[in-house]
């Protein structure tokens, strides 16, 4: 069973909408639908009832959705143990990493944790400036990039490593700075600075296309050669830019970030590996990336549950205060009526 299909179903179960889930996963709606049919065929049960605008989970689908985090962990651990059992924990690994992600602390922590666990592996990371490509696997064992390439060769394996929220980078005194929970509709009339615009598989291009879709084209494109230039232009008030939060490290101090509320707007990072490679250390690194992804999923799930709890608690407090206010209002009216009768 493909664990990515399970994660895709988990995302679909959260959104109950094929279009939204496909957008969040950076795959086409047709691909997601095909994967879900394959999953149902493998399990031998119907997981969902499909309609024109919405998805309804069956009892089996809801049960699976509730148990996917631990199920993924078990599947991955079993697969991981089988994969690493006969792999040599020494050798050399050459990694190509996109320059922007080299500033991300979570990538550094993951690589350092791997090196601590496998001390005999000699690992080198080359920072690639500009657009990355899986063609780099001709010279490197592993490629880490935010690009979601489609129609890749059968021997090229892709693992989603992290998925981040998107923030709008704005110059000082921008009129949207005070607004919380920005939506695409707030971007109408804005100049959107897009780095690597010609990289059709990259997150910047895809997030811009989402913005263009939801604003009905009422935004202005500013094409930037790279993220460093894009953020420099933001500080010069040439426009705004949609970035992952950790990219703020390479921006000027005065740039302000505000979270985009649309869940389909995200920044994902992938690990690519040539499964035909005879480099066992690289095989080991790729397997460890699967475990890292599951840890990330479980952390996001925990944060989501905490957010829901806080939101529900706040909503309950508002209802309670409203109820108490109405009760107090009735008491005042009753006292006035009683006074008039006297």
Highest mean pLDDT among 95-104, 296-305, 332-341: 95-104
The predicted structure's pLDDT at residue 193 = 96
Greater confidence, 332 or 285?
Answer: 285
Per-residue model confidence (pLDDT) at position 305? 46
Contact 138, 155 (CB under 8 A): no
Share of the chain above pLDDT 70, in %: 76
Q: What was the pLDDT predicted at 337?
A: 55
pLDDT of residue 161: 82
- DSSP track, 87-140: S-S-EEEEEEEEGGGGG-HHHHHHHHHHHHH-TTEEEEEEEEPS---GGGGGT-
Q: What is the mean pLDDT of the chain?
A: 79
Q: Do 198 and 204 meet the contact criterion of CB atoms below 8 Å apart? A: no
Q: Which of 32-41, 78-87, 210-219, 267-276 has the lowest mean pLDDT?
A: 78-87
Q: Above 80 in pLDDT, residue 40?
A: yes
pTM given for the model:
0.64
Q: Which of 237, 256, 288 is nearest to 182 (CA)?
A: 256
At 240, is the secondary structure helix, strand, or coil? strand
Segment 152-178 shows an average pLDDT of: 88
> pLDDT value at position 309?
45
**Token digits of residue 210:** 């989402």
Per DSSP, which regions of the chain are E strands?
A: 48-50, 55-57, 91-98, 121-128, 142-145, 156-170, 191-195, 220-224, 241-244, 256-259, 266-274
Mean pLDDT for the stretch of residues 302-330: 49
Kindly report which listed range (149-153, 265-269, 311-315) carries the lowest average pLDDT score: 311-315
Question: Domain 1-86's class?
Answer: mainly alpha
Measuring CA to CA, which residue among 183, 176, 208 is closest to residue 262?
Answer: 183
The highest-level CATH class for domain 164-266 is alpha beta
Give the separation between CA 266 and CA 3, rounded to whole angstroms.
Answer: 21
Lowest mean pLDDT among 32-36, 121-125, 310-314: 310-314
Residue 188: its pLDDT value, please? 94
Count the Cβ atoms, other than its own, within 10 Å of residue 245: 15
Name the segment(s) of the chain with CATH classification 3.40.190.10. 164-266
- Return the pLDDT at 78: 43
What's the pLDDT band for 4 if we cut at 50, 70, 90? Answer: confident
Tell me what pLDDT residue 186 has: 93
Residue 242 has pLDDT above 90, yes or no: yes
């Amino acid at each position: 069973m493909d664990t990515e299909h399970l994660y895709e179903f988990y995302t679909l179960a959260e959104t109950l909408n094929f279009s939204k889930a496909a957008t969040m996963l950076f795959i086409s709606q047709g691909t997601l639908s095909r994967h879900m049919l394959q999953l149902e065929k493998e399990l031998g049960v119907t997981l969902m009832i499909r309609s024109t605008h919405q998805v309804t989970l069956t009892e089996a689908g809801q049960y699976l959705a509730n148990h996917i985090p631990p199920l993924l962990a078990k599947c991955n651990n079993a697969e991981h143990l089988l994969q690493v059992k006969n792999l040599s924990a020494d050798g050399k690994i050459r990694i190509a990493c996109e320059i922007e992600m080299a500033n991300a602390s979570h990538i550094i922590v993951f690589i350092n944790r791997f090196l601590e666990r496998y001390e005999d592996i000699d690992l080198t990371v080359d920072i690639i400036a500009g657009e990355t490509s899986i063609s780099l696997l001709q010279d490197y064992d592993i490629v880490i990039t935010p690009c979601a390439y489609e129609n890749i060769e059968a021997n090229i394996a892709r693992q989603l490593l992290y998925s981040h929220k998107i923030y709008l980078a704005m110059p000082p005194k921008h009129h949207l700075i005070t607004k919380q929970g920005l939506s695409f509709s707030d971007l109408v009339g804005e100049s959107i600075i897009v780095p690597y615009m010609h990289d059709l598989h990259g997150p910047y291009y895809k997030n811009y296309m989402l913005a263009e879709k939801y604003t009905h084209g009422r935004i202005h494109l500013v094409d930037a050669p790279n993220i460093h230039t894009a953020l420099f232009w933001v500080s010069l008030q040439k426009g705004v830019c949609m970035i992952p939060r950790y990219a703020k490290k390479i921006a000027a101090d005065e740039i302000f970030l505000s979270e985009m509320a649309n869940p389909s707007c995200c920044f994902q990072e992938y690990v690519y590996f040539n499964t035909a490679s005879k480099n066992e250390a690289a095989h080991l690194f790729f397997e460890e990336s699967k475990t890292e992804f599951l840890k990330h999923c479980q952390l996001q799930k925990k944060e989501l549950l905490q957010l829901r709890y806080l939101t529900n608690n706040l909503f309950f407090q508002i209802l309670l205060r409203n109820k108490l206010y109405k009760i107090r209002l009735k008491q005042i009216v009753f006292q006035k009526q009683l006074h008039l009768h006297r």
